[in-house]
Amino acid sequence: MPPASQLAGNLSGEAVLGRIGPLLVRLARSKQEIAAAQSIRYKVFYQEMGARPPAAGALEERDADRFDAICDHLLVIDSSLPGAEQDRIVGTYRLLPQEEAAAAGGFYSEDEFELKALVARHPGRRFLELGRSCVLPPYRSKRTIELLWQGIWAYCRRKKIDVMTGCASFPGTVPAMHAEALSFLHHFCAAEGSWQVRANPARYMPMDLMPEEAIVARQALFAMPPLIKGYLRLGAKFADGCVIDREFGTTDVLVVLPVEQISDRYISYYGAEAERFAG
């Protein structure tokens, strides 16, 4: 089960894509490492966050779906831990390049958002879907997030990615619980022009839950999950409408991030290190 056409078209799973201290980031290089990443996802999504696993997933204690076989799996590894390499995996991010998605019938996020229409409007662009991001509790730090972005940036450079997209989540299935944060994204961070995209009509939930003048930006930003804050710092925009994912117990938004629109200071920040691993 080689991910993403033999590890992303000659992008070797052996290659390190980023390193900070004892932590390094690279792609999974074996079925065993992918299974270890799925086990971490199960611990975080189902055991910690309370998602409802399908029967097979609960039996094996792994979060797995049909996309895992065609994705690249970015791994954060703590090299200071004992044991086999797969036992040192402390975080993961799933990467689905456009070519692999097309061969599989579409991106994961198309079940929730009109992503196919967005991709069709940009035939000359190469899209990358990011998803299933999770890190074990002891490693949830700024350093680990920075390492993940080092790895993603090096991957994007190698694969010549033009646009990053994917779902990001608020906890719970009641959008009103996140009224100020969702309204902030709607009023101030909406994808515009040819980058506009909407939640699928059958699943569309409004995000404009508060008037623009009632939003306190600092409060809204404080209430954002860390992953969404990270996307915002990079300059990401968001789709119109959110979607309730009852299996995972989340309220999902869609991130739209053309590489050309990433804030220059973050390209300098992440790119300076990632460039060493992008060759």
Q: What is the dihedral of CA 68, 89, 155, 227, to 10 degrees?
A: 90
The CA distance from 48 to 42, in Å, is 9
CB atoms within 10 A of CB 235: 18
The SS3 of residue 168 is: strand
**The residue to which tokens 């799996």 are assigned:** 73
pLDDT tens track for 51-74: 887 766 667 899 999 999 999 999
- Classify the C-alpha dihedral 28-34-39-41 as positive or negative: positive
> What pLDDT was estimated at residue 207?
98
Residues with pLDDT less than 50, the chain: 1-10, 12-13, 274, 277-279
The CA distance from 141 to 252, in Å, is 23
The CA distance from 8 to 13, in Å, is 9
pLDDT tens track for 228-248: 998 998 899 999 999 999 999
pTM of structure? 0.90
> What pLDDT was estimated at residue 57?
60
